[in-house]
Amino acid sequence: MSESAKETVSKAEKTAKVQKLVGVKGMNDILPPDSARWEWLEDQVRQLMARYAYRHVRLPIVEPTALFVRGLGEVTDIVEKEMYSFEDRLNGEQLTLRPEGTAGLVRAVVEHNLLYEGGKRLYYMGPMFRHERPQRGRYRQFHQIGAEVLGFGGPEVDAELILLAHDLWKVLGLSEVRLELNSLGQPAERLAHRQALIAHLEKHSDALDEEAQRRLHSNPLRILDTKNPALQGVVEAAPRLLDFLGETSLAHFHAVKAILDANGVAYSINPRLVRGMDYYNLTVFEFITTRLGSQGTICGGGRYDYLIEQVGGKPAPAVGWALGVERVLELIKEQGDVLPELAPDVYAIVPDTRAVPVAMQVLQALRASGVSAQMHAGSGEGMGSMKSQFKKADASGARFALVFGAQEVEQGLVAIKSLRDGEGAQRTESLTALAEWAHTLQSTL
Ligand code: ATP
Ligand code: MG
């Protein structure tokens, strides 16, 4: 075989071997310009949290599997079938990609004894992982923002958290979000209700689906949360947990409602609202929109007074919520948002490579004074023609092109061309006067 034939063969082999790699199903790349939406939302959240004096925590994405099994409850959708659990093959540890944020936060609070000096108001944001069937509003890597108040047992913090979320919808410009409220009472009250509920469900056991059959004795409350339309009749006729609440639980519930009423927050009571995790008691709530199809819950939360001790801490009450960032962003888009401007202010055109160092210097000075500036980048074999550089400048969306001609630069000059007004007015400035120009430009941004 000739040398060139050999070369052709090995090239073919190479292309055959290099398979295109794609991302994991249900785990999305967040790319520009969409990423600007994400950052805008995160900024709004940070500002609002600061106004409520909530502090940010950043926690690991991987936790011991036992934390979630113990914390969320063994008979929950998440623990039964949605967790990404694995054994660290280097040391045999059983680990899980966090499916939600509360358990890890409680673990950290206990581990670092954060409640030692009294209660804490905290928030987090970041990716969560659940092995679900990917569809609109449901992904395998998704993102939550959560707010949690630990160490306070009173209804005022439940209401404060709801007001915080309600304010967030306002800041984000979201209407068409409604609030549903319920109380799950205390464990003893739940036990009495549970017996009545099991009796009711057993009477209708023929009508139950496989999942409900399985949960009948392990977690009957969750059956109330079923999405199976065939079960709605049985579930609607079931005994209501609200009717089993004692005076103290009812007083807590009424106090939360009174604060919401006084602050003009509308809600409806949904006696069948139970939430997915086992750890909730007393107040539970969801914010729901009808604009996103069946994945309409954008935020959910409630009180979890027993989770801290379940994770091995000194008993302390707590309450919190988590919102789904993808769903909130989807709703913002649905309501017709305007994407934030991503164009640079200035694009530098440099026809002659000899002018590159000076052009770079000028851009650095512009950036230092707050102007967003993009340098034309060549192919590696020169900078390209003036025409092609102007095309790139236009495509960038920049307001101005700075043209660094070799001759002009030698004379200490640069051309400034407006790219937005049709005519493209052009003038020449001295490099030293550019700082002044940048200043006026900045004040018009
Ligand atoms: P759903 O009933 O939709 O399954 P959930 O009760 O499992 O929700 P939570 O565990 O309460 O949800 O999580 C809080 C929020 O996180 C949800 O209201 C939703 O906005 C979002 N969320 C939950 N799971 C997903 C997912 N797989 N993909 C995208 N967002 C999600
Ligand atoms: Mg779910």
The partner residues of 94 in beta bridges, in order of sequence, read 87
Share of the chain above pLDDT 70, in %: 95
Residues 66 and 165 grouped into a single domain: yes
Q: How many structural domains does the chain have?
A: 2
DSSP state for residue 380 in the 8-state scheme: S
Residue for token pair 């939302």 = 41
Q: Tens digits of per-residue pLDDT, 392-413?
A: 999 999 999 999 999 999 999 9
Nearest CA to ligand 1 atom 5: 276
| Residue 386 in this model has a pLDDT that exceeds 80 | yes
Share of the chain above pLDDT 90, in %: 78
Can you state the angle between helices 65-72 and 102-111, rounded to 10 degrees?
110
Residue 119, C-beta contacts closer than 8 angstroms, at least 6 positions apart: 149, 150, 151, 152
Q: Which ligand is nearest to the CA of 300?
A: 1
Report yes or no on 216 lying in a domain: no
* Top-confidence residue, 10 or 339: 339
Q: Which of 275, 304, 334 is the last residue of a domain?
A: 334
| Residue 249 in this model has a pLDDT that exceeds 70 | yes
Q: What is the pLDDT of residue 423?
A: 63
Residues 309 and 169 grouped into a single domain: yes
Q: What is the pLDDT of residue 337?
A: 77
Choose the weakest-confidence range: 78-92, 269-283, 305-319, 395-409. 269-283
Q: How far is CA 95 from the centre of its chain?
A: 23
Q: What is the pLDDT of residue 13?
A: 60
pLDDT (mean) for 14-26 = 86
Q: Tens digits of per-residue pLDDT, 128-179?
A: 999 999 999 999 999 999 999 999 999 999 999 999 999 999 999 998 999 9
**Collapsed DSSP state (helix, strand, coil) of residue 325:** helix
Q: Check if the beta carbon of residue 90 is closer than 8 Å to that of residue 156.
A: no
Cα-based torsion angle of the residue sequence 29, 33, 36, 41 in order, rounded to the nearest 10 degrees: -70
Q: Which of 301, 334, 367 is the last residue of a domain?
A: 334
Instruction: Determine how many CB atoms are found less than 10 A away from the CB of residue 75.
Output: 14
Report yes or no on 27 lying in a domain: no
| Residue 9 in this model has a pLDDT that exceeds 60 | no
Closest CA to 72 of 320, 307, 312, 322: 307
Nearest atom within ligand 1 for CA of residue 99: 10
| pLDDT band for position 12 (cuts 50, 70, 90) | low
Structure tokens that stand for 220 in this block: 């009957």
Q: What is the pLDDT of residue 422?
A: 67
DSSP state for residue 332 in the 8-state scheme: H
Q: What is the pLDDT of residue 16?
A: 64
Residues 152 and 102 grouped into a single domain: yes
Q: Check if the beta carbon of residue 129 is closer than 8 Å to that of residue 285.
A: no
Q: Tens digits of per-residue pLDDT, 283-294?
A: 999 999 988 888
Structure tokens that stand for 246 in this block: 């004692």
| Average predicted confidence (pLDDT) for the chain | 92
Can you state the angle between helices 155-171 and 34-51, rounded to 10 degrees?
140
Residues 48 and 111 grouped into a single domain: yes
**Collapsed DSSP state (helix, strand, coil) of residue 282:** strand
Report yes or no on 294 lying in a domain: yes
Report which listed range, 1-15, 256-270, 373-387, is most confident.
Answer: 256-270
pLDDT (mean) for 44-51 = 98
DSSP per residue, 179-199:
EEEEE---HHHHHHHHHHHHH
- Which residues sit with their C-beta closer than 6 Å to ligand 1? 100, 130, 132, 137-139, 142, 144, 276, 295, 297-300, 322-324, 326-327
| pLDDT band for position 84 (cuts 50, 70, 90) | very high
Q: How far apart are CA 168 and CA 156, in angstroms?
A: 18
pLDDT (mean) for 111-115 = 97
| pLDDT band for position 277 (cuts 50, 70, 90) | confident
Q: Domain with 133 in it: what CATH number?
A: 3.30.930.10
Structure tokens that stand for 328 in this block: 């909130």
| pLDDT band for position 295 (cuts 50, 70, 90) | confident
Which helix (H) or strand (E) is 301 found in, with range? Answer: strand 297-303
Report which listed range, 73-77, 243-247, 294-298, 421-425, is most confident.
Answer: 243-247
Q: What is the pLDDT of residue 225?
A: 82
Q: How far is CA 224 from the centre of its chain?
A: 28
Q: How far, in Å, is the centroid of ligand 2 from the Cα of 47?
A: 29
Structure tokens that stand for 209 in this block: 């689906």
Choose the weakest-confidence range: 40-44, 152-156, 221-225, 320-324. 221-225
Residues 57 and 165 grouped into a single domain: yes
Phi, psi of 154 (to 5 degrees): -80, 160
Report yes or no on 148 lying in a domain: yes
| Residue 80 in this model has a pLDDT that exceeds 60 | yes
DSSP E strands: which ranges in 82-171?
84-87, 94-97, 120-129, 141-150
Residues 141 and 255 grouped into a single domain: yes
Q: What is the pLDDT of residue 170?
A: 96
Report yes or no on 354 lying in a domain: yes
Q: Which of 334, 358, 393 is the last residue of a domain?
A: 334
CA angle 13, 18, 19 (to 5 degrees): 125
Q: What is the pLDDT of residue 322?
A: 98
Residues 324 and 361 grouped into a single domain: no
| Residue 1 in this model has a pLDDT that exceeds 80 | no
In the Cβ-directed half-sphere of 264, how many Cα atoms lie within 13 Å? 2
Report yes or no on 43 lying in a domain: yes
Q: How far, in Å, is the centroid of ligand 1 from the Cα of 50?
A: 25
The partner residues of 400 in beta bridges, in order of sequence, read 346, 418
Nearest CA to ligand 1 atom 26: 138
Report yes or no on 232 lying in a domain: no
DSSP E strands: which ranges in 201-307?
268-269, 281-288, 297-303
Cα-based torsion angle of the residue sequence 298, 303, 308, 309 in order, rounded to the nearest 10 degrees: -140
Q: Which ligand is nearest to the CA of 298?
A: 1
| Residue 2 in this model has a pLDDT that exceeds 60 | no
Q: Which ligand is nearest to the CA of 130?
A: 1
Structure tokens that stand for 30 in this block: 């967040």
| Residue 242 in this model has a pLDDT that exceeds 70 | yes
Strand order in the sheet with 373-375: 373-375, 346-349, 400-403, 413-418, 426-430
pLDDT (mean) for 246-269 = 98
Residues 55 and 87 grouped into a single domain: yes
Residues 152 and 253 grouped into a single domain: yes
Q: What is the pLDDT of residue 445?
A: 61
Residues 317 and 173 grouped into a single domain: yes
| Residue 5 in this model has a pLDDT that exceeds 70 | no
**Collapsed DSSP state (helix, strand, coil) of residue 144:** strand
Closest CA to 280 of 212, 211, 183: 183
| Residue 64 in this model has a pLDDT that exceeds 60 | yes
* Top-confidence residue, 421 or 47: 47
Nearest atom within ligand 1 for CA of residue 298: 20
Q: How far, in Å, is the centroid of ligand 1 from the Cα of 124?
A: 16
Q: What is the pLDDT of residue 151?
A: 98
Report yes or no on 62 lying in a domain: yes
| Residue 3 in this model has a pLDDT that exceeds 70 | no
Q: How far apart are CA 225 and CA 241, in angstroms?
A: 13
Residues 270 and 402 grouped into a single domain: no
Q: How far apart are CA 49 and CA 121, in angstroms?
A: 10
Structure tokens that stand for 377 in this block: 């980048």
Instruction: Residue 402: give the domain boundaries.
Output: 346-444
pLDDT (mean) for 414-439 = 84
Q: How far, in Å, is the centroid of ligand 1 from the Cα of 324?
A: 6
Q: Tens digits of per-residue pLDDT, 312-325?
A: 999 999 999 999 99
Q: What is the pLDDT of residue 275?
A: 85
Q: Check if the beta carbon of residue 124 is closer than 8 Å to that of residue 105.
A: yes
Q: Check if the beta carbon of residue 303 is closer than 8 Å to that of residue 319.
A: yes
The amino acid that residue 160 corresponds to is: E
Q: How far, in Å, is the centroid of ligand 1 from the Cα of 322?
A: 8
Residues 395 and 255 grouped into a single domain: no
Nearest CA to ligand 1 atom 16: 324
* 239 cis-preceded (ω within 30 degrees of 0): no
Q: Domain with 391 in it: what CATH number?
A: 3.40.50.800
Q: What is the pLDDT of residue 435?
A: 77
Q: How far, in Å, is the centroid of ligand 2 from the Cα of 82?
A: 9
| pLDDT band for position 7 (cuts 50, 70, 90) | low
Which helix (H) or strand (E) is 357 found in, with range? Answer: helix 356-368
